[in-house]
Chain A
């Protein structure tokens, strides 16, 4: 059974029949795409971590806790 993965990479192109220089260009382009994708993931995770940490700062915990607790 094929296990689904969470990879978003587009289907790999068969470039084995391309000339050598074209193959290298294709490889470089794929690496650049992969790098851009990895950077986007790192940036997204960093933003999420920053927002999460903002919840845990003492001032914020106090403010939110008061506001949430006073609802009940």
Chain B
């Protein structure tokens, strides 16, 4: 492992700036579903066009993640965050003024997906990993993840008000201005350049990728994260529709989403703290197993407002709680030099799972007339993810020392 001789940034600076950036980037994107009705109504587009743009956004976020992570590891997170913040603002403005479906696909889909990959967890976690000592890293990642969860919780409510009071286009312009706040915050994550042997030499990108993909624990973590994406996005997107099928009112669905958002903040923070004190593979296995149990309890009980609220609070607590331990294990095993890139690859697994969760949820619901099969599939995947996280080896990977010249 190459020694990093630079002076680390202060913990407070990293946490405040990192958390604020993730709050903005995760928050702004989370309420995009609220634009479906006004955009499709005003532009005369089908809902499928809008949904397809958001699906492309999620895939673009996942696919470009390893590359933006690679750039952040190579040229510094600051530059990537600045570029990501500018693209975020540009994408929101273009989303507001697009009058054609391809234009909307390019802005709301590709541009915003790329912007998200440059301003979310993988890039910020790279800075946290390099500047926070290993004995506080999982906790620090928990703080940043909790900030992202808070952003999601806050912004759905803010977005709803903005659309109602300012109109959907002005709401997007206001969010574009908010996205520009990422630029000054990124300055707080500007790391001094590497000195000495750390600035050159050491493990290259190709070697790091070969090492990670040849290491079974990395593949197990990716597989676990795939399940996380599948479950979270299936529930987030299809829960209101499921509740509608069961004859519950829209108010129950709204409260359920609010409860998920609220408990998600506590859960992500607690997982970060717990990951500092217990083996992270056990924390991850516990989260996935609990998710499976909560899902089984929900689908085998009568669906009432009370059962929905209990389910929402518990599944909310387990919502993004996989993020801090998963990323902390990656840093622990492979070191911090290629953290953003490797975090991006793991997140790609998450996004593929997200895509399948949304798509299969709708597909199987149409094919069978109910969501039962997908709920059971989610529970089975939860048990599988719990089992595959148990053999993950958390110890730092042993690398041969370079031969003396």
Contacts and interface: CB of A to CB of B under 8 A. Distances in A.
Interface of A: 4-6, 8, 48, 51-52, 54-56, 59-61, 63-72
Interface string B267-304: 00010011001100000000000000000000000000
A45 to B, nearest CB: 10
A29 to B, nearest CB: 17
Interface residues of B, number: 33
11 contacts: A52-B258, A59-B164, A64-B157, A65-B251, A67-B34, A67-B160, A68-B250, A69-B250, A71-B33, A71-B240, A72-B241
A19 B65 CA distance: 55
B254 interface: yes
B164 A63 contact: yes
B139 A61 contact: no
Nearest to B47: A71
Nearest to B245: A72
B250 A55 contact: no
A55 B240 contact: no
Q: What 3 A-B pairs are tightest by C-beta distance, nearest first? A: A65-B250, A55-B258, A4-B277
B273 A51 contact: no
Given A52-B262, A65-B250, A68-B253, 7 more contacts: A4-B277, A8-B139, A8-B273, A64-B254, A66-B250, A68-B33, A72-B240
A60 B36 contact: no
Interface of B: 33-34, 36-37, 47, 139, 150, 153-154, 156-157, 160-161, 163-164, 240-241, 244, 249-251, 253-255, 257-258, 262, 265, 270, 273-274, 277-278
Interface class of chain A by DSSP: helix
Contacts of B157: 51, 54-55, 60, 64
A63 B160 contact: yes
Contacts of A56: 255, 258
B15 to A, nearest CB: 12
B255 A4 contact: no
Contacts of A51: 153-154, 157, 262
Contacts of B274: 4, 6
A6 B86 CA distance: 38
A8 B258 CA distance: 27
Contacts of A6: 270, 273-274
Contacts of A55: 156-157, 254-255, 257-258
A7 to B, nearest CB: 9
A69 B255 contact: no
Nearest to A72: B241
A69 B265 contact: no
Given A4-B277, A6-B273, A51-B157, A68 B265 contact: no
